[in-house]
Structure 1
């Protein structure tokens, strides 16, 4: 058990799924991104995915790619990620980092794990790392009591599903669509199938990231998953705003809509 699993179980005990929101650090600037993450918590997000900007975000759609490119141009660093993590923890939510593996490796896996724990972080989602090649990271995370969250998809074989579930701690991240991230017009039924397959492989907690952008979609996912993950729709609030304050105001409205959807599902 961990702080993250305890929180997910507490939310399940309330008869609902968790709302998990992603934002990249440093967009549109570091201070605004941290204010935005705290605003998400205040508006109904239970768990915040903190995104360290990376120069080659191959799994992200255009909205997030543009945001992280601007953050990098403005000089964001990993130390800013730890600032964001502390602010989220202080606001009362569970902070997890969602990072490509190379920035962690360049920083040093042991150092990254230790600094994240010191900042108040509870786990790391590694979208481009699989458990069979992630032994060094898993060992570092376990040594510092950090949760390791790995991804499963429709293409995941039965053997790899069992391996991934066994290596995941905190929750299993189910992505029922192949391709890059981004908002979708509809959820479809693949999400529920992937969640079912993960549970059959032994996963106790499965959260879904599928391009959710509306309260209705959030309610649909919340009907069968332990958590609903939203990223692009939240980043878009900041991207389309005339100024940072307007962006945070729009973000609060969108999070409230998603939170209402999650809470209406059960």
Structure 2
């Protein structure tokens, strides 16, 4: 089952979708966080492949990438760790920057993802008009390449993104970098409505979803949420898998209330 098949099936039952994020290699035994995510009711899991210049990420994810790299994390090591994870029952979606894809070449990169059990990919600095090669290679490898749309995306390009994205459309709630925020951006509702007007592909809203109340509000607009900085801040502060499970379970309950 592809990422999109999984998310569509769950969405069509009325379920709000939850995709938490973890930076690969952030701590010893870091894959235990994946098990906690699954136990909390995640519908997909985003695994960040650490990169030295994460331009679209805010301070928290930057710190997480730096910490993982300082521990010796690399794309190969993270994927080797993922290959040893069994029985999650939740699709894994890798996210990274295009430089890491180009380092090995799209074909070798996507093949390595697939061998590690990854079935989705997010490359936030890859614009849709430059995505042809990676999109084709990813599809051939059985990897759903999800594209991003922001409030500033013009309508013609938004339609192309919605058409060409696979797995889901990643709706960036505001212009800026990732990070926790006090409230859901007003632009989030308008953006998701625009995406829904041109596609029935699942829409996940990210950038700034930090609390159960924000998740509940986001669910009124989108099919689900991506939660990254709020998770990684807890991990950087020393939270273990059980602590993160408790936090995500609260988000899960909020999404289920809609």
TM-score for both structures, normalised by structure 1? 0.92
Matched with 1:21 is 20
Number of equivalent positions? 258
Matched with 1:214 is 211
Measured in 2, the distance between the counterparts of 1:188 and 1:56 equals: 26
- Please, which runs of 5 or more residues in structure 1 have no aligned partner? none
Structure 1, residues 26-58: CA drift from partner, whole Å, max 9, x if none? 1134x2x21112211112212100100000011
CA 86–14 in structure 1, closer or farther in 2 if over 3 Å, else same? farther
Structure 1 range deviating more: 137-146 or 77-86: 77-86
Q: Secondary structure at the match of 2:124?
A: coil
Cα pair 1:125 1:148 within 8 Å, conserved = yes
Matched with 2:75 is 78
Matched with 1:115 is 112
Shift of 1:117: 1.4
Measured in 2, the distance between the counterparts of 1:255 and 1:108 equals: 35
Q: Secondary structure at the match of 2:226?
A: strand
CA 72–8 in structure 1, closer or farther in 2 if over 3 Å, else same? same
Matched, 1:12 2:11: yes
Cα pair 1:89 1:121 within 8 Å, conserved = no
Q: Which protein has the bigger helix share?
A: 1
Matched with 1:258 is 251
Measured in 2, the distance between the counterparts of 1:119 and 1:37 equals: 14
Measured in 2, the distance between the counterparts of 1:159 and 1:9 equals: 24
Alignment of 1:172-191 (within 5 A): 172-191=169-188
Measured in 1, the distance between the counterparts of 2:189 and 2:85 equals: 30
Measured in 2, the distance between the counterparts of 1:50 and 1:87 equals: 15
TM-score for both structures, normalised by structure 2? 0.95
Structure 1 range deviating more: 136-145 or 51-60: 136-145
Of 142, 151, 158, the residue aligned with 2:148 is: 151
Measured in 2, the distance between the counterparts of 1:145 and 1:226 equals: 23
Alignment of 1:159-174 (within 5 A): 159-174=156-171
Cα pair 2:173 2:208 within 8 Å, conserved = no
CA 87–184 in structure 1, closer or farther in 2 if over 3 Å, else same? farther
Shift of 1:86: 3.8
Q: Secondary structure at the match of 1:91?
A: coil
Shift of 1:203: 4.4
Matched with 2:62 is 65
Structure 1, residues 151-193: CA drift from partner, whole Å, max 9, x if none? 0011000111112112201111001211110011111331111
Measured in 1, the distance between the counterparts of 2:55 and 2:222 equals: 26
Shift of 1:84: 4.6
Shift of 1:214: 1.0
- Please, which runs of 5 or more residues in structure 2 have no aligned partner? none
Q: Secondary structure at the match of 2:92?
A: strand
Matched with 2:128 is 131
Measured in 2, the distance between the counterparts of 1:55 and 1:188 equals: 28
Shift of 1:87: 5.5
CA 83–263 in structure 1, closer or farther in 2 if over 3 Å, else same? farther
